[in-house]
Amino acid sequence: MEMQVVQRARENFLAGRSRPLEFRVQQLKSLQRMITDRQGEIATALKQDINRSQYDTPLLELIGLENEISLAVSKLAQWAAPRPVEKSLLTISDQVYIQPEPLGVVLIIGAWNYPWALTLQPLVGAIAAGNAAVVKPSELSEYSASLLKALLPRYLDQELYPVVCGGVSETQELLRQRFDHIFYTGNSTVGKLVMEAAARHLTPVTLELGGKSPCYIDKDVDLRVACRSFVNCGQTCIAPDYILCEPSIQNRVVEGIRQTLLFYGPDPKSSPDYGRIINQRHFNRVMALLDGYTAALGGQSDSSQRYIAPTVVKDVPPHARLMQEEIFGPLLPIVTVSDIDDAIHFISEREKPLAIYVFSSNKKVIKRMLAETTSGGVTVNDVMMHYTLNSLPFGGVGQSGTGRYHGKHTFDQLSHHRACLVKSLGMEERVNMPRYPPQNHQKARRVRLAMRTPLVDFSKGTYIWAVTASIVALGLLVTLTVILILAAGVSCTCW
């Protein structure tokens, strides 16, 4: 079945149905209409999957999706247009540009923690770029996956954008097929399997993974702001995974988190705003990470509800199991460091994280943390907010992922940037003579000079008028375009 789904998507792509800009815009608007029409059903599915509050659904999933679609609709003509580039003397009268083109059929494998945003945001980019896409939602968020399979064909072209549900076997069968790009969001273990499967077909991949994202809290910062980090019950790839701070402020950090958790009232378990772990297996995994530790805050759990209270553990040693894998739950270890040097060393000697968070009012501390560490993204004096801007690329580096998306970055990630040079046959062949045998020192020198770039930068949208004149360059008569800049105040850049 999976093979037939992929084959139909490819046939429809090859027929050119997904390429016209008008069709892309129409499909994007239909996707927007689905989100608007079905917001209540989406919120209900998320409540069933992870006890997501109906008020958090727009905030954490749908508003960002709507922003992505609106941006793509308004900017699509600009994104898909030829992009002029700089020319050399030998190509001055040619058309030289980059043309974004669709890749073909894209496989999108979504994640369960944000099953709508993390599945449909890549789809927005795939549609905008003119691709077909096979959508595979996570089977762990089963209510959302079933609803997506029911809804998407009612709003989008089901031949070009089919939904395939199922578990490991269905995903494995999909990965045996040839795609033109695979976009996977999830953990690094499965990410390696996706990359291995893609390699058999030399298929490029975008891997949005995770890792242990550190949060450094400086001793001079307002701890009331720094301690607000529990979102989606910790089940967020860019959630702070552990805190680094000096021993002198560790107790104050715990107290700051305690005060922050009053958002949920005296008992987070009874709060409609506090979520649940996705399934029993993940509940057991997260609870096992606490073995041998006494919680400084929280620690309560209820297996029947898959509830784990927001939990903080102090004085966690670097070699502890809590520090060896991504937690992906409401546990927050605190590791003490002596100073900013120690914190930077601690971060740098580990795998590159998906995000780094820094809380400090000291500009030197912030500057050092930005300059001396590496991560997919960074937010200073807040958490996760860099994810909300579609002007910023979102993605990992090293073990935390490869590739990037959001806004135009998704369009570019799922496009082939074709290099184009169109030369007129009416051009005098004399200009090309130095390129041809027999070669000598004089010809080689002329070609070297003629191929220097840039002569004129056409990429900035300056309006120009070109007329042809003849000059003598190093003894060789060549035809050169004389550039007259009509835009006031702009001068020609010639060598």
What is the per-residue pLDDT across 339-353, written as a single tens digit (0 to 9) for each? 999 999 999 999 999
| pLDDT tens-digit readout, 62-89 | 999 999 999 999 999 999 999 999 998 8
**How high is the pLDDT of residue 231?**
56
The average pLDDT across 260-266 equals 87
Answer whether residue 495 shows pLDDT above 60. no
Could you tell me the two tokens for 138?
A: 């996570």
Answer whether residue 488 shows pLDDT above 80. no
**How high is the pLDDT of residue 273?**
87
Answer whether residue 494 shows pLDDT above 60. no
Report residue 456's pLDDT band, with 50, 70 and 90 as the boundaries. Answer: low
| pLDDT tens-digit readout, 284-340 | 999 999 998 999 999 999 999 999 999 999 999 999 999 999 999 999 999 999 999
| Strand bridging mode 95-102 / 83-84 | antiparallel
The average pLDDT across 98-123 equals 97
Higher-scoring residue by pLDDT: 433, 45: 45
Answer whether residue 392 shows pLDDT above 50. yes
Burial of 241 (0-12, 13-18, 19+ CB in 10 A): buried
CA distance 405 to 420: 25
Answer whether residue 479 shows pLDDT above 90. no
**How high is the pLDDT of residue 88?**
86
Contacts of 145 (CB under 8 A, 6+ apart): 115, 137, 138, 139, 165
Task: Give the highest mean pLDDT range of 1-10, 154-163, 482-491.
Answer: 154-163
CA distance 414 to 418: 13
What percent of the chain is predicted at pLDDT more than 70?
Answer: 88
When the pLDDT of each residue in the chain is averaged and rounded to a whole number, the result is: 88
**How high is the pLDDT of residue 351?**
95
**How high is the pLDDT of residue 177?**
96
CA distance 40 to 60: 15
- Structural contact between residues 313 and 290, judged by C-beta atoms closer than 8 angstroms: yes
Higher-scoring residue by pLDDT: 106, 434: 106
Closest-CA residue to 239 (of 130, 155, 355): 355
The average pLDDT across 251-258 equals 92
- Structural contact between residues 18 and 109, judged by C-beta atoms closer than 8 angstroms: no
The average pLDDT across 20-38 equals 98
The average pLDDT across 11-20 equals 98
Answer whether residue 17 shows pLDDT above 80. yes
Contacts of 234 (CB under 8 A, 6+ apart): 310, 327, 328, 329, 330, 331, 332
Report residue 260's pLDDT band, with 50, 70 and 90 as the boundaries. Answer: confident
Number of neighbours of residue 273 by Cβ within 10 angstroms? 14
- Structural contact between residues 209 and 401, judged by C-beta atoms closer than 8 angstroms: yes
State the helix-helix crossing angle for 188-199 and 168-176, rounded to 10 degrees: 30
Active site residues: 208, 237
Answer whether residue 180 shows pLDDT above 80. yes
- Structural contact between residues 318 and 346, judged by C-beta atoms closer than 8 angstroms: yes
Helix (H) or strand (E) holding 29: helix 21-37
Higher-scoring residue by pLDDT: 55, 408: 408
The average pLDDT across 372-378 equals 97
Report residue 234's pLDDT band, with 50, 70 and 90 as the boundaries. Answer: confident
Contacts of 103 (CB under 8 A, 6+ apart): 129, 131, 180, 181, 414, 415, 416
Answer whether residue 481 shows pLDDT above 50. no
Closest-CA residue to 377 (of 367, 362, 366, 387): 387
What is the three-state SS of 117-186? HHHHHHHHHHHHCCCEEEEECCCCCHHHHHHHHHHHHHHCCCCCCCECCCCHHHHHHHHHCCCCEEEEEC
Of 90-104, 177-191, 362-376, 468-482, the least confident: 468-482
**How high is the pLDDT of residue 169?**
94
- Structural contact between residues 166 and 148, judged by C-beta atoms closer than 8 angstroms: no
Residue with tokens 């893609």: 198
Q: Is 291 helix (H, G, I), strand (E, B) or coil?
A: coil
Residue with tokens 């502890």: 320
CA distance 236 to 327: 10
Answer whether residue 487 shows pLDDT above 50. no
Helix (H) or strand (E) holding 86: none
| pLDDT tens-digit readout, 190-228 | 999 999 999 999 999 999 999 999 999 999 887 777 776
The average pLDDT across 177-188 equals 97
**How high is the pLDDT of residue 435?**
74
- Structural contact between residues 354 and 290, judged by C-beta atoms closer than 8 angstroms: no
DSSP label at residue 411: H
Higher-scoring residue by pLDDT: 111, 90: 111
Report residue 490's pLDDT band, with 50, 70 and 90 as the boundaries. Answer: very low
Report residue 446's pLDDT band, with 50, 70 and 90 as the boundaries. Answer: confident
